[in-house]
Amino acid sequence: MKPRIWLDGAALRANVAAFAALGAPVAAVVKNDGYGWGALRLARELDGVVESYVVADEDELAALRPGTKRPVRLLADVPAARLRSVVDLGGIPNCSSRESVAAAAGEAARRGGLTVRVGILDAAGWSAIRAEEAAVFASTLAGTALAVELWTHVSSTARAGAILAGFSAARETFVRAGIPVVSTDVASTGSASVANAHDRLRIGIGLFGGRLGTPIATRCALRVEAPLVRLYVQGGIGFAGYGDRRIPDASEIAVLRCGYGDGYPKGMAGAADILSVGMQYTTRVRRAATDPCVLIGATDDLDQLAAEAGITPHELVVGLA
Ligand SMILES: *Cc1c(COP(=O)(O)O)cnc(C)c1O
């Protein structure tokens, strides 16, 4: 007796369409092996509807490549020794240091041109340049055969204005220095909007149905079905679990075979009708005596579920993976 936990491919594709409706194609972020669900598995579901993929590094590129012919963008700089194989594999590397620009420039000369990514803070702390460094950085690119995809990451709502202003200033600087800026991308799920659409949207948690507060009509692509182990009538005791949750007498309690050992968040205890979450079992006040019982499904809101559990939607998704 085990829970079944799976992904709804149609929901994944509908979520891509919901973001693309903002006016730019979706680059599916499948780092950490597709948020734990398997990058190849996600590519199998999504390859027909996404523009490209985003991975962390060259190892993830190599693992994903058998599953797609689309471009794969790397968040990190590539060690010089592996740059050629990354480009051969259709990876678009990031450059955030003189050394990585020098290696890419060499490769560009050999090939008659090459596109790299340059991230402006908050791109990713370990692979970005600061907006103030744009002029100096542009001078290292000048005279090479490199074209640039300029990007940033709006990682904080509070600093969104400053991040985007720094990004625009850096872009101006690059263009004035004569660097070919061939595309720009700035938004992930939480900052996705018409204004931030640019040339593509980098969507990770949004594929699964997360919105991070954005008003986008995603739907939950996760489904968790838990076998019903036992139904019993609560009589006289008046509490569930270990006595910290009072419930009305004569409530009917369902014991379900799915617990935090399966990735169902322990913090769900106390939310809605969930009484307790143990390693293997969850108890809830009976809603309907269905077996199996749907603990998470298409009608759930991933943002809200995660908030009830006191975690982020990212933690919920990788935990269930
Ligand atoms: C992880 C990541 C994303 C995707 O973020 P979500 O919130 O999951 O959509 C986008 N861009 C960068 C730079 C990232 O590191």
The one-digit pLDDT tens for each residue of the chain (321 residues) are 999 999 999 999 999 999 999 999 999 999 999 999 999 999 999 999 999 999 999 999 999 999 999 999 999 999 999 999 999 999 999 999 999 999 999 999 999 999 999 999 977 767 899 999 999 999 999 999 999 999 999 988 899 999 999 999 999 999 999 999 999 999 999 999 999 999 999 999 999 999 999 999 999 999 999 999 998 887 655 565 555 666 766 678 899 999 999 999 999 998 888 989 999 999 988 777 689 999 999 999 999 999 999 999 999 999 999
276 lines ligand 1 (CB under 6 A): no
Give the pLDDT confidence score for residue 240 in this predicted structure. 58
Give the pLDDT confidence score for residue 91 in this predicted structure. 98
150 lines ligand 1 (CB under 6 A): no
What is the best residue among 22, 30, 54, 214 to mutate for testing ligand 1's pocket, by most ligand atoms within 8 Å of CB? 54
Could you tell me the pTM of the whole model? 0.95
| Ligand 1 center to 210 CA (angstroms) | 12
Strand 52-55 versus strand 72-77 pairing type: parallel
Give the residue carrying structure tokens 């340049």.
Answer: 129
| Ligand 1 center to 153 CA (angstroms) | 8
